[in-house]
Structure 1
Amino acid sequence: NFGLTVVAAVLMSLAVARLVTPMIAAYFLKSFGHVSHGEGKVMDWYVRTLHWTLDSRKAAAWRARGGMRRVFSRVMDHRLWAIGAGVLAFALTLFMFTVIPSQFQPTRDEDDATAQIEMVPGTTLAQTDAVVSRVSALLGQQPVVSTVYARTRVGSGTVTANLREDRKEKSVDFERRLAPQLTAIPDARVSIRSQSGWGGSGRDVTVVLGGSDPAKLQQAADKIVGEMGGLKSLTAPRVSGGMQRPEIVIKPRFDLAANLGVTTQALSSAIRIATLGDIDQNSARFSLSDRQIPIRVALDQSARTSLSTIQNLPVSTASGGSVPLNLVADIGLGSGPTKIDRVNQQRQITLGADLAPGVVISNAMKQVHALPSMKNLPVGVSELTLGQSKWQAEMITNFITAVIAGTFLVFAVLVLLYRRVLPPFVNMGSLLLAPLGGLIALWATGQPLSLPVYIGLLMLLGIVAKNSILLIDFALDEMSKGVDAFTAIIDAGHKRAQPIVMTTVAMVAGMVPTAMSLSGDSSSRAPMGTVVIGGLALSTLLTLLIIPAAFSLAVGIERYVGPRLGRRLLTYRPGDNGDEVIGIAGANPGPLLGPATGKLGHGRDQGDGAQPAE
């Protein structure tokens, strides 16, 4: 939806710029003759700086002297210094991506907080209600809570606290501050329902382990939970849904049963009737006029709780007699899980924990993955990527795919527009300068990387690409009229700096209310505004200084490599079609190139748009 909205908005703005704006300008604008464009102290400083970044005279002087000076002459070329600044900016961008913590969605300031209570199996309704009442009283005593709603079920319960509108504490800070007090309640598991816990344990941090051996899986989970308890960034780590309930364990003595003539079928039938009751396929049926009702035979509920009753349960033999169950099987009490979870036919176990105040999930997960038990999982046990972690990994993969696909599409359009190869590479290189300012702004404001940040980075890439296109397109247009490359680049920087800065200022001003969170909960909008403001401010400056130098180098490379490749790859020679051959304006006499047609989209005739191929 975001992509379709941007495409529709850009197409509409293009139609307005090409159709409506010229019509309005024809009616309301008046001509006052020649007026100086974009003059002032700031512009004078920029033009001087631009001259310095394009200065290669000292490099040419060193090269002319020969010897070792010729080898190191490139170091004195200021254009390479500008390119070096761009490389340094890109390296700093990669470093900032590793420094800033990340999460899938930014935490929201919600109007309520919900505590979940889970009791041990076998807890009565009265015992559960006592714990729910204790949690409800604890939440109701908090100054930021206005009302409390509690619901009690057998073995579980929920308590929802509605927060005051005039509170100064955010709901996330309130939940994390209260989490240690809730986990201290005995004989119950009490946790706050996390905003980011969907698809997992329902808590802030979720680690999912998978394996085929239940014993190894449980042992590894218990060991990891013990080590997670020593991390200050986590609160109350435990195995989610791993409560053990009491159960009767029956282990048949197959050798003795065979000697007594007890078959496996008779043994399983006796055990089944003693616990679950006979299955519907084997049960008798009571026939009614419209249906048949199965009659399930089972021990009474009170008899099932008596171990002696089950031990003395008769088991039929092949001779027609019966023996007590405890004679052919060992019967005792044990414990087992309340449920078994599987993913792709692989048994899984989920670990969950709450985050301490001020901790971001990416930092906590780095500490968890650095634990010795996580680094040395037993053979057959592995970590599974599910829930929010899976979505976050897919989001980053899709973002990278979208950027690469968009870059190739823009590159293809620019090659058709310029009819050149290297200038589009300069435009694409400007995209590497876009994220740095936004990442610095996020780091300064303490905001982590999240989905809105990646959306803001996509917006940044489009705006920065447009700025570089304005510069290079104007310079190429001037060069097609016979202006030398140096003068064309200086003129492009002089006359296109003001529109670029105006666009940046307008975009930044529009994003200020979003970044400052002036109304409502803007947790999902503020990161996007912050990254756009910081990215535009710095990338505009870098674009105006680095892109002209990179374009100047690209023109020089084209002049050097183009004729040499042409002699080796092309059979056509300038002048073969009978047209007049012209040279490159401002360049040393060299290979002569034929005329080129007008630039795509400029509406020139064949003769007006003559442009030498570089």
Structure 2
Amino acid sequence: LDPVDETMLHPNLERAALLGVDPADIANTLSVLVGGVSASTFEDRGDQYTVFMRAAERFRNDPNGLTLIAVPSRTLGQVRLFDVIQLGSGKATSKISRQSRERAVFITMNNMTGFSEQALVDEMEKAMKTLDMPPGYTYEPFGRSKEMAKMQGAFLFAIFLSFIFMYLVLAAQFESWLYPFIIMLSLPLTLPFAILSLLLTGGSLNIFSMLGLIVLFAMVKKNAILQVDHANSLRRQGLPRTEAVLAASRDRLRPILMTTLAFVAGMVPLVTSQGIGSGFSKAMASIVVGGQILSLLLTLVAIPVIYTWFDDLARFNTRVWNKVLRRKPVDRGAGEIGVVDIHA
């Protein structure tokens, strides 16, 4: 804000004492004539209005109008205000802003396309720390920057809870603590590709891109469930582990590709939109489309590998516990022998 000219009045205490003027009378007179005071109320047809009194604007804004104002004196009755004050001039702000009943200076800005809002906030904090402000002065984000800082902690907590609930639901469905863990390991693999898609599209990490990240997690988890569930089904029919994993990956490749392409095709209009509010839809859709396409091949290969690793680890732990507890392997007889036609 551009500064404006200001007229300052300073009581001349020595002159006021000589003329018998109380400094409080000087302040009260200026308060009434310049600042104004609520004098009474006025009622009209059941409505009550406040009567506010102060000097006319031409006297308040013109320093020469102060020559017409008098203040009470204990010895002389009335004394001109000019005789007990000193005039000064200076510069003042044209507007005083407040935040939480305290004076505040607001710095607002918009980030250009391709620049992260969080990066701007970090740079502002670095600049404010170099000012070495005196005691009593503080700085803090407000508006969308403040909500963004709150949202990051809330979003991480929501992601943590969603992982817990997804794991518990999958554990109830598979009746196992191992297979849900294998499925959940596919989610961290999508994070680098989600960030890469933001960099390629020039987007930034905000609340809408975070929502898109949750949608991306759901799609990737669904693909892993198809692979693991079908592999377990083939193994229950008697197919060996390696053949069951290969057959499950081959059988579920077409459904995974079809659902992925259909989902990406549905998100393309949001990515290419140009209307009002398109920035919000682009932020969500770009991370879903880019992350899904880039991570598809990795998850299709990684899930079978992770499945075999943890299955070997489970078998090794079983053998160790059997040796420690001196148990003999359970002979299931012909229940483990069978022939499955995986092309049926």
Q: TM-score range by the shorter chain?
A: 0.7 to 0.9
Q: 2:28 matched to 1:269?
A: yes
Match runs of 1:339-350 below 5 Å:
339-350=95-106
2:20–2:76 contact (8 Å) kept in structure 1 = no
Q: Please state how far the C-alpha of 1:374 moved relative to its aligned partner.
A: 4.4
Partner residue in 2 for 1:447: 203
1:262–1:316 contact (8 Å) kept in structure 2 = yes
Partner residue in 1 for 2:260: 504
Q: Please state how far the C-alpha of 1:400 moved relative to its aligned partner.
A: 2.4
Match runs of 1:139-538 below 5 Å:
242-254=1-13, 256-258=15-17, 260-277=19-36, 279-281=37-39, 298-311=54-67, 313-319=69-75, 321-353=77-109, 361-362=117-118, 364-371=120-127, 374-379=129-134, 380-517=136-273, 520=275, 522-538=278-294
Equivalent position amino acid for 2:7 in 1: I
User: CA separation of 1:354/1:535 partners in 2, compared to 1, >3 Å: closer, same or farther?
Assistant: closer
Equivalent position amino acid for 1:378 in 2: M
Q: CA RMSD for the aligned pairs?
A: 3.7
Note the residue ranges of structure 1 that are not aligned, 5 or more in a row.
Answer: 1-241, 587-614
1:500–1:540 contact (8 Å) kept in structure 2 = no
Is the deviation greater in 296-305 or in 489-498? 296-305
Give the secondary structure class of the aligned counterpart of 1:378. Answer: coil
2: CA distance between counterparts of 1:488 and 1:288? Answer: 90
1: CA distance between counterparts of 2:114 and 2:300? Answer: 39
Equivalent position amino acid for 1:272 in 2: S
Note the residue ranges of structure 2 that are not aligned, 5 or more in a row.
Answer: 337-344
Q: Please state how far the C-alpha of 1:365 moved relative to its aligned partner.
A: 4.6
Q: Please state how far the C-alpha of 1:509 moved relative to its aligned partner.
A: 2.6
Q: Please state how far the C-alpha of 1:433 moved relative to its aligned partner.
A: 1.8
Partner residue in 2 for 1:54: none
User: CA separation of 1:565/1:574 partners in 2, compared to 1, >3 Å: closer, same or farther?
Assistant: closer
Partner residue in 2 for 1:549: 305
Match runs of 1:123-134 below 5 Å:
none
2: CA distance between counterparts of 1:548 and 1:287? Answer: 84
2: CA distance between counterparts of 1:473 and 1:317? Answer: 97
Q: Please state how far the C-alpha of 1:343 moved relative to its aligned partner.
A: 2.2
Give the secondary structure class of the aligned counterpart of 1:447. Answer: coil
Q: Please state how far the C-alpha of 1:378 moved relative to its aligned partner.
A: 0.8
User: CA separation of 1:259/1:473 partners in 2, compared to 1, >3 Å: closer, same or farther?
Assistant: farther
Equivalent position amino acid for 2:28 in 1: S
Superposed CA deviations along residues 483-510 of structure 1, whole A, max 9, x for unmatched, are 4433332222222222222221222232
Q: Please state how far the C-alpha of 1:270 moved relative to its aligned partner.
A: 1.8
Q: Please state how far the C-alpha of 1:426 moved relative to its aligned partner.
A: 1.6
User: CA separation of 1:574/1:346 partners in 2, compared to 1, >3 Å: closer, same or farther?
Assistant: farther
Equivalent position amino acid for 2:72 in 1: S
Give the secondary structure class of the aligned counterpart of 1:434. Answer: helix
Identity of aligned residues (%): 27
Q: Please state how far the C-alpha of 1:349 moved relative to its aligned partner.
A: 0.3
Tell me how many residue pairs correspond in the alignment: 332
TM-score, structure 1 normalization: 0.47
Give the secondary structure class of the aligned counterpart of 1:384. Answer: coil
Give the secondary structure class of the aligned counterpart of 2:279. Answer: coil
Superposed CA deviations along residues 242-283 of structure 1, whole A, max 9, x for unmatched, are 333333312224465455432344222221243134x224x6
Equivalent position amino acid for 1:403 in 2: I
TM-score, structure 2 normalization: 0.79
Equivalent position amino acid for 2:168 in 1: A
Equivalent position amino acid for 1:261 in 2: G
Superposed CA deviations along residues 371-390 of structure 1, whole A, max 9, x for unmatched, are 4x543441333321111212
Equivalent position amino acid for 1:433 in 2: L
User: CA separation of 1:347/1:293 partners in 2, compared to 1, >3 Å: closer, same or farther?
Assistant: closer
